[in-house]
Amino acid sequence: MRIVFAMALLLAVAGCGSLPRPFLHEGNDAPLVSPRAMQPISVAELPEMPGLAKALVSAFEQQDIAASTAEGGDNFLRLSAKIEGAKLHWLLADVRGNVVGDFSETRGSVQQTAASTAATVARLLRGDDLGGRDLAARPRVAVDKVTVTGSLDADLLKRALIEALQRQGLAVVEDNPQMRVSGSLHITQGLAGHDLVEVTWVVQDDKGAEVGKVNQGSPVMRDELLSKALQMTHQIAEGGAEGVKQLVHTKF
């Protein structure tokens, strides 16, 4: 398993038979106006300008782009910079090194530079409409109650799911959602220091009809449920969000 925890993921679509089928990462997603605009960004630190990476993450949030100073997974774009005189030379690329953007910005204060750079990256990703079509194209999803029976934190799992759904290109809203998601996690004590972790995410349409379920399950070493609870919670959310996205795109 990856850190010790790689959940088996099954996806069951309501009305498609009683047996769940294996969840496939290469499933057919609904077309998006600008797929690159949905990708989260990993911002590299620039030692010469401490605090810039963190300020950029906040600036990207204002642009409705998910970003982090952490390395991120394979679906992340990487943004890095080097100083060239009075300017910063920025490079935005995917994990395979394919360049998405290559541009320079005049150096200012940390906050000024972050705001200017985030706006430039948003235009690169979304085109001249500044993402209006892209944002309008996102399915609107509300995350309802998430319950946990066991040692993990329900509120943390809900927050992690919301962030993961946003990285998957879904708009998480409170008002007028097109879909609703609720979840439950149950931990059953097993043998030889291993416990069974089972998670079910239920996706419903705006009328309350069930669209389908995402089921996750894996035996996990009991001591790691405590020592790696934060990392494990985020992994559960990431896997669940991928399945939820597939279900949402069966309708939108």
CATH code, domain carrying 49 = 3.30.160
Read off the tokens for 233: 């919670």
Q: Is the distance from CB of 215 to CB of 242 less than 8 angstroms? A: no
* DSSP category for residue 129: T
- Give start and end residues of each alpha helix (H) in the chain: 52-62, 110-126, 132-137, 154-167, 222-227, 229-248
> Rounded mean pLDDT of the chain?
80
Q: Indicate the SS3 state at residue 81.
A: strand
- Same domain as 60, residue 158: no
In this structure, the answer to whether residues 153 and 227 fall within a common structural domain is yes
Q: Give the burial string for 225-238 (b: 16+ CB within 10 Å, else e).
A: beebeeebbbbbbb
pTM value?
Answer: 0.54
Asked which of 77, 107, 130 is the last residue of a domain, the reply is 130
Structure tokens at 25: 């990462």
Domain boundary among 130, 164, 191: 130
Domain region containing 166: 8-30+138-248
Question: In terms of domains, do 144 and 160 share one?
Answer: yes
**Domain co-membership, 107 together with 44:** yes
- Report the CATH number at residue 201: 3.30.160.150
Q: Lowest-confidence range among 40-54, 145-159, 220-234?
A: 220-234
Query: Are 152 and 243 within one domain?
Result: yes
The tens digit of pLDDT for each residue in 88-104 reads 999 999 888 888 889 99
